[in-house]
Protein backbone atom coordinates (compact mmCIF):
# COMPACT_ATOMS: atom_id res chain seq x y z
CA UNK A 1 0.00 0.00 0.00
CA UNK A 2 1.45 3.35 -1.05
CA UNK A 3 1.47 6.48 1.03
CA UNK A 4 0.17 9.59 -0.70
CA UNK A 5 1.72 13.03 -0.41
CA UNK A 6 0.76 16.46 -1.64
CA UNK A 7 3.45 17.87 -3.91
CA UNK A 8 3.87 21.48 -4.98
CA UNK A 9 2.53 21.15 -8.53
CA UNK A 10 3.67 24.65 -9.53
CA UNK A 11 7.22 23.93 -8.38
CA UNK A 12 7.33 20.64 -10.30
CA UNK A 13 6.05 22.30 -13.44
CA UNK A 14 8.58 25.10 -13.01
CA UNK A 15 11.44 22.62 -12.55
CA UNK A 16 10.33 20.69 -15.63
CA UNK A 17 10.25 23.87 -17.72
CA UNK A 18 13.68 24.93 -16.39
CA UNK A 19 15.05 21.67 -17.78
CA UNK A 20 13.17 22.32 -21.05
CA UNK A 21 11.39 18.98 -20.77
CA UNK A 22 7.95 18.09 -21.97
CA UNK A 23 5.72 16.07 -19.67
CA UNK A 24 6.55 12.98 -21.72
CA UNK A 25 10.30 13.58 -21.38
CA UNK A 26 9.99 14.02 -17.61
CA UNK A 27 7.93 10.83 -17.40
CA UNK A 28 10.56 8.83 -19.30
CA UNK A 29 13.44 10.35 -17.28
CA UNK A 30 11.70 9.64 -13.96
CA UNK A 31 10.47 6.21 -15.02
CA UNK A 32 6.84 7.22 -14.56
CA UNK A 33 3.82 7.26 -16.82
CA UNK A 34 2.83 10.39 -18.70
CA UNK A 35 -0.56 10.29 -16.94
CA UNK A 36 1.19 10.36 -13.55
CA UNK A 37 3.10 13.51 -14.51
CA UNK A 38 -0.13 15.12 -15.75
CA UNK A 39 -1.91 14.29 -12.46
CA UNK A 40 0.96 15.60 -10.34
CA UNK A 41 1.16 18.86 -12.30
CA UNK A 42 -2.61 19.28 -12.18
CA UNK A 43 -3.35 18.75 -8.48
CA UNK A 44 -0.11 17.71 -6.76
CA UNK A 45 -1.35 14.29 -5.64
CA UNK A 46 1.38 11.66 -5.81
CA UNK A 47 2.45 8.43 -4.21
CA UNK A 48 5.57 8.33 -2.11
CA UNK A 49 7.33 6.41 -4.89
CA UNK A 50 6.41 9.09 -7.44
CA UNK A 51 7.67 11.75 -5.06
CA UNK A 52 11.00 9.94 -4.69
CA UNK A 53 11.36 9.45 -8.45
CA UNK A 54 10.71 13.13 -9.21
CA UNK A 55 13.04 14.23 -6.43
CA UNK A 56 15.82 12.05 -7.83
CA UNK A 57 15.37 13.48 -11.32
CA UNK A 58 15.52 17.06 -10.06
CA UNK A 59 18.29 16.23 -7.57
CA UNK A 60 16.22 17.32 -4.59
CA UNK A 61 14.85 15.62 -1.51
CA UNK A 62 11.21 14.51 -1.58
CA UNK A 63 10.48 17.00 1.20
CA UNK A 64 11.63 19.86 -1.02
CA UNK A 65 8.95 18.92 -3.58
CA UNK A 66 6.15 18.73 -1.04
CA UNK A 67 3.68 21.52 -0.71
CA UNK A 68 4.61 23.70 2.23
CA UNK A 69 1.67 24.61 4.47
CA UNK A 70 2.93 27.46 6.56
CA UNK A 71 1.05 27.59 9.86
CA UNK A 72 1.21 31.40 10.01
CA UNK A 73 -0.39 31.60 6.58
CA UNK A 74 -3.20 29.27 7.63
CA UNK A 75 -3.79 31.17 10.86
CA UNK A 76 -3.81 34.53 9.07
CA UNK A 77 -6.24 33.22 6.45
CA UNK A 78 -8.50 31.91 9.23
CA UNK A 79 -8.45 35.28 10.99
CA UNK A 80 -9.22 37.13 7.77
CA UNK A 81 -12.09 34.78 6.97
CA UNK A 82 -13.69 34.64 10.45
CA UNK A 83 -12.51 37.82 12.21
CA UNK A 84 -15.96 39.34 11.78
CA UNK A 85 -17.19 36.94 14.48
CA UNK A 86 -14.80 38.57 16.97
CA UNK A 87 -16.05 42.03 15.97
CA UNK A 88 -19.66 40.96 16.57
CA UNK A 89 -18.67 39.36 19.88
CA UNK A 90 -17.00 42.59 21.02
CA UNK A 91 -20.08 44.59 20.06
CA UNK A 92 -22.30 42.16 21.98
CA UNK A 93 -20.13 42.53 25.08
CA UNK A 94 -20.14 46.33 24.79
CA UNK A 95 -23.92 46.47 24.38
CA UNK A 96 -24.32 44.09 27.32
CA UNK A 97 -22.07 46.22 29.51
CA UNK A 98 -24.01 49.31 28.50
CA UNK A 99 -27.26 47.66 29.58
CA UNK A 100 -25.83 46.48 32.89
CA UNK A 101 -23.73 49.52 33.82
CA UNK A 102 -25.69 52.42 32.34
CA UNK A 103 -29.21 51.57 31.26
CA UNK A 104 -30.48 49.48 34.20
CA UNK A 105 -29.25 51.92 36.90
CA UNK A 106 -30.69 54.82 34.90
CA UNK A 107 -34.06 53.06 34.63
CA UNK A 108 -33.97 52.52 38.41
CA UNK A 109 -33.61 56.26 38.94
CA UNK A 110 -29.86 56.90 38.83
CA UNK A 111 -28.64 60.05 37.10
CA UNK A 112 -27.67 59.21 33.51
CA UNK A 113 -24.77 61.68 33.46
CA UNK A 114 -23.54 60.41 36.83
CA UNK A 115 -23.46 56.87 35.48
CA UNK A 116 -21.16 57.97 32.65
CA UNK A 117 -18.96 59.86 35.12
CA UNK A 118 -18.81 56.76 37.31
CA UNK A 119 -17.34 54.78 34.40
CA UNK A 120 -14.91 57.47 33.29
CA UNK A 121 -17.01 58.51 30.29
CA UNK A 122 -16.33 55.11 28.73
CA UNK A 123 -18.69 54.94 25.80
CA UNK A 124 -20.03 51.39 25.60
CA UNK A 125 -22.46 52.33 22.85
CA UNK A 126 -19.76 54.01 20.79
CA UNK A 127 -17.40 51.05 20.95
CA UNK A 128 -20.24 48.58 20.52
CA UNK A 129 -21.55 50.42 17.49
CA UNK A 130 -18.13 50.79 15.89
CA UNK A 131 -17.27 47.12 16.38
CA UNK A 132 -20.69 46.14 15.01
CA UNK A 133 -20.15 48.23 11.87
CA UNK A 134 -16.63 46.80 11.46
CA UNK A 135 -17.99 43.27 11.82
CA UNK A 136 -20.78 43.94 9.33
CA UNK A 137 -18.39 45.42 6.75
CA UNK A 138 -15.92 42.56 7.33
CA UNK A 139 -18.66 39.97 6.82
CA UNK A 140 -19.91 41.76 3.70
CA UNK A 141 -16.44 41.80 2.18
CA UNK A 142 -15.99 38.08 2.93
CA UNK A 143 -19.33 37.24 1.32
CA UNK A 144 -18.45 39.34 -1.75
CA UNK A 145 -14.99 37.74 -2.10
CA UNK A 146 -16.44 34.22 -1.71
CA UNK A 147 -19.15 35.01 -4.25
CA UNK A 148 -16.58 36.27 -6.77
CA UNK A 149 -14.37 33.20 -6.22
CA UNK A 150 -17.31 30.82 -6.72
CA UNK A 151 -18.44 32.75 -9.78
CA UNK A 152 -14.94 32.52 -11.26
CA UNK A 153 -14.72 28.82 -10.37
CA UNK A 154 -18.10 28.20 -12.01
CA UNK A 155 -17.10 30.06 -15.17
CA UNK A 156 -13.82 28.13 -15.33
CA UNK A 157 -15.56 24.77 -14.94
CA UNK A 158 -18.17 25.57 -17.61
CA UNK A 159 -15.58 26.90 -20.04
CA UNK A 160 -13.45 23.74 -19.72
CA UNK A 161 -16.42 21.51 -20.55
In this predicted model, what pLDDT tens digit does every residue of 96-140 receive, in sequence order?
988 887 788 888 887 777 766 666 666 788 888 899 999 999 999
- Contact by Cβ (8 Å): 19, 28: no
Q: Over the Cα atoms of the chain, what is R_g?
A: 28
Residue 53: the pLDDT is 93
All residues at 6 or more sequence positions from 5 whose CB lies less than 8 Å from its CB, including other chains: 46, 47, 48, 51, 62, 66
Q: Please report which residue ranges of the chain form alpha helices under DSSP H.
A: 9-18, 23-30, 34-43, 48-57, 62-65, 71-98, 104-107, 112-118, 124-159
* Per-residue tens of pLDDT for the chain, all 161 residues: 457 888 888 999 999 999 999 999 999 999 999 999 999 999 888 998 999 999 999 999 888 888 766 555 677 778 888 999 999 999 999 999 888 877 888 888 877 777 666 666 667 888 888 999 999 999 999 999 889 988 888 887 776 55
Tell me, what's the pLDDT at 1?
A: 46
DSSP assignment, residue 60?
Answer: S
Amino acid sequence: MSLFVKLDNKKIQQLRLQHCWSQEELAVTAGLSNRTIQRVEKNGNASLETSKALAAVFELTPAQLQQQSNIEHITFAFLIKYGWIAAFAISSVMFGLWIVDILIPTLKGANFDAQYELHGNFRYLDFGGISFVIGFVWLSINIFVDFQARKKQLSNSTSSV
